[in-house]
Amino acid sequence: MLVWELAYTRIAGVLTGLEAAAYHGHHRQPGGWLAASPSRVERMQEECAGVHSFHLQPADGQLLPAYQPGQFSSVSVEIPGHPHWQIRQYSLSDAPGRSYYRLTIKRQKADHKTPAGQVSNYLHDTMQTGATLLMHSPTGEFYLDDTAITPLVLRAGGVGITPLMAMLEHLLLSGSPREIRLLQAVRDADAQPFGQRLRLLAQRHPNLRIFTLYGTPAPVLAGNEEDADETADENLGYGLLADEHLDTLLADLPRMADCYCCDPLSFMRHVNILLRAQSFENRHFEVFGPAQVIKRLSE
């Protein structure tokens, strides 16, 4: 056995054991599953270029386990020609209590640093309405404290919006009066998951303000000035998140506001430094990286 194969096997064993312990706890909740449950794809929807939502319901009519907004579910995938089942974690991107789970998944393309994502590409290429996917009960330590009444700041980079969408949809559906600010950083308008949905929510709920920061200059909106107002989207310009952007976003909020952030690790460190410098202490993080790194960010 090659060294990397041995390492992969050992790491997979550790993660499987930790995951199993979590599932044994969660399966006791109403409708909880102890093992992976076959779930049928009821609907698919493109959220932006390269990002699709998969709406899933139990194939055998079981109840859906309850979850907290912000948690994730694991899926088990058997890829033809691959010797091992692949397990990936994807945030549940809609409010709890629906008749379905929604997983919103980005197709991970290859670049000069990393290979293409096996599972994300497989799901994008092969999943169709009626297909079956093995899902585990939801779990995860990153979720909204919906008993709080403090203002809420949601910050996401790209597809990191997925757990924050569950939080946002849950709060607005429940009629929460909390003041909510959401900042989404994306490469450009074509790479903005849920952009249209967010603008619609901002139009309907006066306690919600959304801000967008583009990696490249945003295109000029076509149409008249009235059309531009209807977007309900406050453009912060383009570039890397900086103090001046936070001043626009947070200057009038009390420092005890709760901040929930989901970004790639490289951006998460930067965001954490900025929020700490502005004395926001209630910072909660989710990042696509090891859990011990996440914990150190909040120290």
Same domain, residue pair 163 and 74: no
What number is the average pLDDT over the span 136-141? 94
**Same domain for 243 and 162:** yes
Q: Is the pLDDT of residue 261 over 60?
A: yes
Each residue's pLDDT tens digit, 12-35: 454 445 554 454 555 555 555 556
* Helix (H), strand (E), coil (C) string for the chain: CCHHHHHHHHHHHHHHHHHHHHHHHHCCCCCCCCCCEEEEEEEEEEEECCEEEEEEEECCCCCCCCCCCCCEEEEEECCCCCCCCEEEEEEECCCCCCCCEEEEEECCCCCCCCCCCHHHHHHHHHCCCCCEEEECCCECCCCCCCCCCCCEEEEEEHHHHHHHHHHHHHHHHCCCCCCEEEEEEECCHHHCCCHHHHHHHHHHCCCEEEEEEECCCCCCCCCCHHHHHCCCEEEEEECCCCHHHHHHHHCCCCCCCEEEEEECHHHHHHHHHHHHHCCCCCEEEEECCCHHHHHHHCC
What mean pLDDT is reported for the chain? 84
SS (H, E, C) 133-182: EEECCCECCCCCCCCCCCCEEEEEEHHHHHHHHHHHHHHHHCCCCCCEEE
Confirm if 184 and 210 have CB atoms less than 8 A apart: yes
Same domain, 169 and 265: yes
Residue 145 lies in a domain: no
Same domain for 188 and 292?
yes
Residue 163 pLDDT more than 80? yes
> For the residues 67-84, what does the mean pLDDT come to?
94
Query: What's 34's domain CATH number?
Result: 2.40.30.10
Is position 200 within any domain? yes
Over residues 276-299, the mean pLDDT reads 69
Q: Are residues 34 and 127 in the same domain?
A: yes
Which of 88-102, 198-212, 253-267 is predicted least confidently?
Answer: 253-267
Query: Average of pLDDT values for 138-165?
Result: 95
Shared domain for 290 and 188, answered yes or no, is yes
For 168-186, how does the pLDDT look when each residue is reduced to its tens digit (9 = 90+)?
Answer: 999 999 999 999 999 999 9
Residue 8 shares a structural domain with residue 62? yes
- Please check whether residues 57 and 181 belong to one and the same domain: no
Domain count within the chain: 2
Residue 60 confidence (pLDDT):
87
Residue where one domain finishes, among candidates 81, 109, 135? 135
Q: Is residue 115 part of a domain?
A: yes
Q: State how far the Cα of 270 lies from the Cα of 267, in Å rounded to an integer.
A: 5
Please report whether residue 142 resides in a domain: no
Domain CATH for 179: 3.40.50.80
For the CA atoms of 75, 89, 169, 280, what is the dihedral angle to 10 degrees? 170
In which band, very low, low, confident or very high, does the pLDDT at 9 lie, cut at 50, 70 and 90?
Answer: very low
Determine the average pLDDT of the residues in 290-299: 44
Looking at the structure, tell me whether residues 60 and 195 fall in a common domain: no
Asked whether residue 196 carries a pLDDT value surpassing 90, the answer given is yes
Q: Does 147 reside within a domain?
A: no
Q: What is the pLDDT of residue 29?
A: 54
140: in domain: no
Q: Give 174 or 290, the one with higher predicted confidence.
A: 174
Asked whether residue 144 is domain-assigned, the answer is: no
- Identify which has the larger pLDDT, 71 or 16: 71
Q: What range defines the domain where residue 195 resides? A: 152-297
Residue 7 is predicted with a pLDDT of 41
Q: Which of 77, 100, 135 is the last residue of a domain?
A: 135
Does 157 share its domain with 126? no
Which of 135, 162, 193 lies at the terminal end of a domain, its last residue? 135
Residues above pLDDT 70, as percent of the chain = 79
**Residues 156 and 291 both lie in one domain:** yes
In a domain, 143, yes or no: no
pTM listed for this prediction: 0.84
Beta bridge partners of 278: none
- The pLDDT confidence band at residue 266, using thresholds 50, 70 and 90, is confident
11: exposed, middle or buried (C-beta count within 10 Å: 0-12, 13-18, 19+)? exposed
* pLDDT tens digits for range 205-255: 999 999 999 998 755 555 444 444 445 678 888 888 999 998 888 989 999
Answer yes or no: do 162 and 226 share one domain: yes
Confidence (pLDDT) at 216: 84
